[in-house]
Amino acid sequence: MPSGPAPNAFYAQSGGVTAVINASALGVIETAAQYPDKIGRIYAGKNGILGALREELIDVALEAPNVISGLMTTPSGAFGSCRYKLKGINESRAEYERLIEVFKAHNIRYFFYNGGGDSADTCQKVSEIGATMGFPLQAIHVPKTIDNDLPFTDNCPGFGSVAKYVALSTQEAAMDIASMCATSTKVFILEVMGRHAGWIAGAAGLAAQSCGDAPHIILFPEIAFDEARFLAKVKETVDNYGFCVIVASEGTQTADGQLLSGSTSRDAFGHVQLGGLAPKLADLIKQAHGYKYHWAVADYLQRAARHIASQTDLDQAFALGKAAVSLAVEGHNAIMPTIQRTSDEPYQWTIGTAPLDEVANQEKMMPKSFFRDDGFGITPEARRYFEPLIVGEAYPSYDKGLPVYVTLAKHLVDKKLPVDERW
């Protein structure tokens, strides 16, 4: 780093948010404050990387201390997130030049980007262009994704809380259906997120603690959907237990790669917009067997459910935010802190690292050993993996029956560059 005043840091949130992403933000903020000789002010991007492109930088120091500490128990992206994927440097050099211009103007030399695989790619590219343009940055990716599909880390912050929510919801819904199935609903379908990897759907399997417990059927993106086998399993389950509970990953697909749900529209990252799987499955069951059904889509509820967050998930989210800053002040660049499991029982973990050029745009699927032989459930090995991640209740404070969450003032620093209307 050049001599003179301590350079500033930039933190931003990216992609779909989680119940604990703000805990990572707090880890970054609190740890950065412990190094006043190396890190000056801490700026956060308003709406993720767009905050840098638009020079909309939130001065974290102007937030009330109780609001900052309240990030630990507040869901969503407190600073604002976005789905904005930077193109290749050769395709859109202007974007990168703009970022460096903004960072130069505000003496920003640390870049902390909190997100999933696409965010890791962005972080890597920003590091590269900074060096190319003679303005080196220390770019650290802070992992976050409810999909749990980042490589090199045992699990990802955000996943443990979603896993807990989905397992709980499956258990409770199953009790409802079981009590009414003699004369009413016999099939319940819960659609959960998971585009290519079935981690979230798999976690629902924790609800089944003895033979006959729900979920009776789990549909994974990794296992080809066979309509005939599926419908036969539904009938067999209803015949045996009186009802059938199904947890279906939104990315469920046939052997030829055809998604059962989806549309022609795509998001900013180029991903097909998914949805509508649960009613499609329900219709198949209705046509084949005539069973009365209900279905639900967990959607944003699963990732916003801070009231039932996993303590393990919260601890890891905070620890990775802290680790990101520690790595930066130690001189590391283009790297991601990771969770390394050292023991299942008792559950123990430590912090590791992974290079961004190996993390970016990679997806970690569930291993074959986690799938039951019939493809409709999880194995004991999978259970050993999932169980520790949902342990512990990290309840927020409550007032008048509702959780107490914080809202940032988001005071922006004065702009130093001409307004650029491209972003």
The beta-carbon contacts of 87-90 under 8 Å, at least 24 apart in sequence, are 88/125, 89/125, 89/128, 89/129, 89/132
Q: Which of 37, 59, 121, 147 is catalytic?
A: 147
Query: Token pair for residue 167?
Result: 């397992």
Q: Are 355 and 362 in contact (CB under 8 A)?
A: no
First vs last C-alpha separation in the chain: 29
Q: Are 197 and 149 within 8 A, CB to CB?
A: yes
147 an active-site residue?
yes
Beta strands 293-297 and 187-192 are parallel
For the chain, helix, strand, coil in percent to 5 are 40, 20, 45
Give the three-state DSSP class for 348: strand
Burial of 90 (0-12, 13-18, 19+ CB in 10 A): exposed
Entry field: residues in the chain: 423
- Residue 31: enclosing H or E segment and its boundaries? helix 21-32
Note whether 213 and 148 are within 8 A (CB): no
Question: CB-side exposure of 234: number of CA atoms within 13 Å?
Answer: 27
CB 279 within 8 A of CB 294: no
CB burial of residue 35 (10 Å; 0-12, 13-18, 19+): middle
Nearest C-alpha neighbor of 13 from the set 58, 53, 39, 49: 49
Q: How far apart are CA 18 and CA 77, in angstroms?
A: 7
Residues near 90 by beta carbon (within 8 Å), at least 6 away in sequence:
none
Catalytic residue numbers? 147
